[in-house]
Structure 1
Amino acid sequence: MALKISRVEYYYVNVRDELGAGYRVLSALAERGVDLLAFTAVPSGPATAQFALFPDDPNTLLAEARAAALDLDGPYNALLVQGDAELGALAGVHERLFEANIDIYASMGVTDGRGAFGYLVYVREDQYDQAAAALGI
């Protein structure tokens, strides 16, 4: 697979940080037919976790999250980079954004163990369009 870079929307939901919180949120969405491109979870306070939901179809997520009584915050914008795990692929993405004077304030990625990767890039909302242009999307 060649390098594919896409604009994606994401939404936050804050939940009580307790055993099974991720399971409850993800299973409620799955039961309602919500397909996610990505999901992250981080602590956001002493008893709170923040889940970022990257839906394949934002309208479906919004409708089904309401039905599941999930209070979503968003939409926000990020960039999803997917491709073959070749040495320097992520460095090249960062280089293009650096040369365009774009501030990456967070990122995360993972390989699939078979030679491909997915990588989320968070940039400032006021630099989002400029970042997309720098990456050719």
Structure 2
Amino acid sequence: MAVKIYSAPYYTTTAPDIPGEACRLLSRLARDDVNLLAFTALPIGTGETQLVIYPLNTTWLADVARRTGLVLNGPHHAFLVQGDDELGALVKIHHRLCDADINVVTSTGLADGKGGYRYLLHVHPQDFARASDVLGATHIPSRWDNFELKIPRHFEASM
């Protein structure tokens, strides 16, 4: 598989750093059919956690936020990279950014156990457009475009 690099919007919210908070949010999103590309949780201070939500469909996430009072910060933009798991796979991506004098702010990568990897990559907001050009990033694949039109959400079917 060739390396594919996508622009991935994400949102943040905060929650108390206590057991069950992320579970409650994830359960709510699943109940309302909000599919996620990724999710992370990071401690940001005494008693508080930042939850980072990378939705497949931003409209559905915004709808849940409006209906439930969930306060979201965003959209922000990251890159979602996928490719074959090989030695040095991430080096090529970092070299391209380094050569363009673009700093990687945060990143997380995982091998999928099937010969591939996924990698979330963040740059400073002011560098995002340039990084997108340097990396040749595209929007989320077309099979995900208009996703909300292809699958009715279960709670809408009963209305």
TM-score by length of 2: 0.83
Paired residue for 2:133? 133
Paired residue for 1:23? 23
Cα offset, 1:52, TM superposition: 0.5
Which residue identity lines up with residue 23 of structure 2 in the other structure? Y
Larger Rg: 2
- CA distance, structure 2, for counterparts of residue 4 and residue 89 of structure 1: 12
Partner of 1:71, secondary structure, is: coil
Cα offset, 1:5, TM superposition: 0.2
Structure 1 stretches lacking a partner, 5+ long: none
Paired residue for 2:155? none
Cα offset, 1:84, TM superposition: 1.3
Cα offset, 1:65, TM superposition: 2.2
CA RMSD of aligned residues (A): 0.9
- CA distance, structure 2, for counterparts of residue 66 and residue 113 of structure 1: 37
Structure 2 stretches lacking a partner, 5+ long: 138-159
- CA distance, structure 2, for counterparts of residue 19 and residue 117 of structure 1: 30
- CA distance, structure 1, for counterparts of residue 27 and residue 69 of structure 2: 13
Paired residue for 1:14? 14
Partner of 2:132, secondary structure, is: helix
Paired residue for 2:142? none
- CA distance, structure 2, for counterparts of residue 132 and residue 89 of structure 1: 18
Cα offset, 1:66, TM superposition: 2.3
Paired residue for 1:51? 51
Which residue identity lines up with residue 63 of structure 2 in the other structure? A
Paired residue for 1:89? 89
- CA distance, structure 1, for counterparts of residue 48 and residue 112 of structure 2: 29
Paired residue for 1:106? 106
Q: Following superposition, which runs of at least 4 residues in structure 1 exceed 3 angstroms of deviation?
A: none
Give the structure with the larger strand fraction. Answer: 1
- CA distance, structure 2, for counterparts of residue 91 and residue 66 of structure 1: 41
Contact 1:10–1:78 under 8 Å retained in 2 = yes
Contact 1:29–1:68 under 8 Å retained in 2 = no
- CA distance, structure 2, for counterparts of residue 112 and residue 61 of structure 1: 26
Paired residue for 1:64? 64
TM-score by length of 1: 0.96
- CA distance, structure 2, for counterparts of residue 68 and residue 29 of structure 1: 11
